[in-house]
Copies of this chain bind each other. A is one copy, B any other.
Amino acid sequence: MNEWPPGALSFHVVGALHAVEAQLEAALEPLGLSLAKLGALAKLVAAGEPLSLGALAERCACVRSNITQLVDRLEADKLVVRVDDPRDRRSVRAELTPEGRGRHAAGMRALEEAERAVLSRIPERDRDVFLQLLQSFSGVIAHR
């Protein structure tokens, strides 16, 4: 079954998933959103309250300096605002604006639609295994 030369498999995996990512990004682009931006907005919505940039970095599974720049762009888009934390003056928290909440809702709708389009390309009987495989990879994620 595995007739691929060793090593080539990696390029197929990465290439295939990049193609999927590109489709999802394309669905968000007309809204002025990206997966990175929508992901950060989703974390803030899920938290239900402003998050420190450090906490946001943790939940986005990325480095702090990345969030600094991402929040710069989200703030320029007026989707979040930086607020000082009176309890710890080193900390800066990101707070959703009303426009940020609205854009998050619109982005998730667009993402769900694109997601259905991608899933529809997977043969029906393989879909469950696909979802199970993602569970396997969640372990990889946790190992970072």
A16 interface contact, C-beta 8 A: yes
Quick one: given A1-B128, A7-B115, A112-B7, are A12 and B122 in contact (CB under 8 Å)?
no
Label chain A's interface by main secondary structure: helix
A87 interface contact, C-beta 8 A: no
Residue of B nearest to A61 (CB): B15
A133 interface contact, C-beta 8 A: yes
**Alpha-carbon distance A9/B132, docked complex (angstroms):** 12
Copies of the protein in its oligomer = 2
Determine if A16 and B126 form an interchain contact, defined as CB atoms under 8 angstroms apart: no
Q: A136 to chain B: which residues have CB within 8 Å?
A: 121-123, 126
Q: A74 to chain B: which residues have CB within 8 Å?
A: none
Which of A17-25, A47-55, A78-86, A95-103 has 4 or more CB atoms under 8 Å from chain B? Answer: A17-25
Distance to closest chain B CB from A31 (angstroms): 13
A interface with B by C-beta (< 8 Å):
1-2, 4, 6-7, 9-24, 35, 39, 42, 61, 108, 111-112, 114-115, 118-119, 121-123, 126-134, 136-141, 143-144
